[in-house]
Structures are given as C-alpha cells and as structure tokens.
Amino acid sequence: MPAITISRQYGSGGSEIAKLVGARLGWAVIDNEFVGLVSQKGGLPRPDVERLEERVPGLLERLGQTLALASPEVFVTGETPTTGPSTEDDIHRVTQAVIAEAVKHDVVLVGRGAQSYLAARDNVLHVFLVAPRDVRVTRTMARLKVDRKDAERTVDKIDRERREYVKAYYGRGWDDPSHYHLMLNTDRFSYAEVVDLIEAAVKLRGWR
C-alpha cells in the first residue's frame, strides 16, 4: 500500500499538515498516537516512550534497571517474552515494527525515522517540511506559551535530536534533500497549499 512520510523541522507544522493530508486523502495518520502504539506493542511505559522517541543513546537518561518490559521480539517474531530494562534501542526496534505494520495500509507517518526505514520502498512519498528558524521560534512561543529564549532552546534541541536519531540509527542525513521527494517551506506556502502540493504528488504517482 502507498504511504507518505512527513519529516519536519520543529515548528514547521508537521503534525497539523499530516492531519490535513490524512483528511484530504482519507488515509490513516500515525503521529501522536504513535507513542501509544509503541508503548502498547512493546509493553513499554508510555512516559518512557514519550521521553525517548527520536533521540539517541548517549544523549538520553537511561531508564531505571527495575523497569521490565515484554521483549520487542514478541511483536516482531512471536518469541518468548524476556524481561529487562527498557532502553531507547528497545523503543527503536518496536517503533520499526509499528511502522512495518502501519504501511500495510494507506498511511501518513510523521517522524520517527520512517523516511529512512522505508527508504528502499518505491510506493512511499517522502516529504520534508521546513521554515525559517525565526518563524518556527515564534510559532513555538505561541504554541508552548514560553518566552523567545526558551522557544529557541526548544527548537534547536529537538531539531538536533531528530538529526542525531536518524544519523545514529540509519547513517543518513535527516535534512539531506536527496532523501526526499518534496521539501516544502511552510512560511512560503500556507498549510492548505502544502496539502495541495502533497496531494498533487500523490496523484502523479497514480495512488489516487
């Protein structure tokens, strides 16, 4: 089944645009609920998944040794569960399993390295959303109700973590234009126009 991955600089509107694309096409959208799916499939505590998603070992606080989980291999291979401390590597493996399950349907996937995990598939459209840093900082101030300095730190931190996550797990450049079919500036195009452009690309591919 065809799929769309949406990668995004923080504050570029990725979540909102993904929902609009999903509504336009009638496709499922895996975004915030992705955290819940990973938690459910891997037996991982939801707060831990929320803290660790799209980050890299070495930048992360390790989870307490007392945290036990059903092994991700239960979901992937059906093997007997094991217990042990949950780590970002566990979450990454379960995340990949959830992506693999999701693409059995028409789906829009937001972040989580989906563009890299699915890079070899022909029936996936990869989109990267950008906007000038000042624009994204202003949006972050409004969204999170924080001052400019805190918004700047948030934008830079999350972009850095997303870049390092893709590099660490896939050896690819998160913001390398050659990995995407479309790179769209959400300061130059409205969200509605971005959706129009993505839909046009889907039609060109013959998926609609």
**Residue 205 included in any domain:** no
Give CA–CA dist 15/17, Å, rounded: 6
**Residue 204 included in any domain:** no
The candidate with the shortest Cα–Cα distance to 167, out of 155, 158, 157, 175, is: 175
Tell me which H or E stretch contains 141. Answer: helix 133-144
Q: What is the mean pLDDT of residues 89-93?
A: 73
Tokens 């609920």 -> residue: 33
**Residue 207 included in any domain:** no
Looking at the chain, which runs of residues are DSSP E strands?
Answer: 3-8, 28-30, 107-110, 124-130, 182-185
Question: What's the pLDDT tens digit per position in 101-154?
Answer: 788 888 899 887 889 989 999 899 999 999 999 999 999 999 999 999 999 999
Q: In the structure encoding, which two tokens stand for residue 126, read together? A: 């990869």
Q: What is the mean pLDDT of residues 146-175?
A: 92
* pLDDT value of residue 61: 31
CATH code of the domain in which 167 resides: 3.40.50.300
**Residue 189 included in any domain:** yes
Domain span at residue 182 reads 3-199
**Residue 206 included in any domain:** no
Question: What's the pLDDT tens digit per position in 40-61?
Answer: 656 666 676 666 565 544 322 3
**Residue 16 included in any domain:** yes
| Three-state SS at 196 | helix
* pLDDT value of residue 139: 96
How many domains in the chain?
A: 1
**Residue 94 included in any domain:** yes
Reported pTM = 0.77
**Residue 208 included in any domain:** no
